[in-house]
């Protein structure tokens, strides 16, 4: 089981070829994904932008948003807000990004992401996406 942030979910459904391949490889590596409830807002936000710019169709974006809910084996709604705050203050990450770090720490899991700041600031829980050789 792993924690995934919104970038992984977006890459899985609508990433460019290399990001999609990395998300697919991650799914093969470990298909038990969990995330914080905030993923819905960020994924919805990015997919809306992709539709507006013509990157994907509205039908594909809607399907991706709905299917993401089934892709995750768990969405954690309740967070320890004080602990997320402490992570944000100690790392310099946004409160939003710190919520994913918090979940990984709280569950003793790895957080998979392509977010460079998270990877740099939290190497104790964060791991990069798989390298895909073409």
CA distance 33 to 12: 12
* Residue 36: strand pairing partners: 76
Give the integer Cα–Cα distance in Å for 7 and 13: 10
Report the alpha-carbon distance of residue 75 to residue 70 in Å, rounded. Answer: 10
* Closest residue by Cα to residue 41 from 19, 15, 68, 23: 68
Can you spell out the DSSP letters for 92-106? ---HHHHHHHHHHHH
Q: What percent of the chain has pLDDT over 70?
A: 99
Q: What is the pTM of this model?
A: 0.92
Contact 104, 8 (CB under 8 A): no
pLDDT tens digit sequence for 4-54: 999 999 999 998 999 999 999 999 999 999 999 999 999 999 999 999 999
- Report the pLDDT value the prediction gives residue 134, as an integer from 0 to 100: 64
């Amino acid at each position: 089981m792993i924690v995934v942030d919104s970038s992984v979910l977006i890459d899985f459904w609508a990433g460019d070829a290399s990001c999609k391949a990395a998300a697919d490889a991650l799914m093969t590596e470990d298909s038990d994904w969990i995330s914080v409830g905030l993923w819905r807002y960020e994924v919805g936000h990015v997919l809306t932008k992709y539709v507006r710019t013509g990157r994907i169709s509205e039908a594909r974006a809607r399907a991706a948003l709905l299917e993401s809910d089934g892709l995750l084996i768990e969405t954690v709604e309740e967070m320890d807000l004080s602990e997320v705050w402490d992570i944000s203050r100690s790392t310099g990450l946004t409160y939003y990004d710190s919520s994913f770090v918090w979940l990984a720490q709280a569950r003793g899991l790895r957080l998979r992401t392509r977010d460079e700041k998270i990877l740099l600031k939290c190497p104790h829980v964060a791991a990069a996406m798989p390298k895909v050789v073409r």
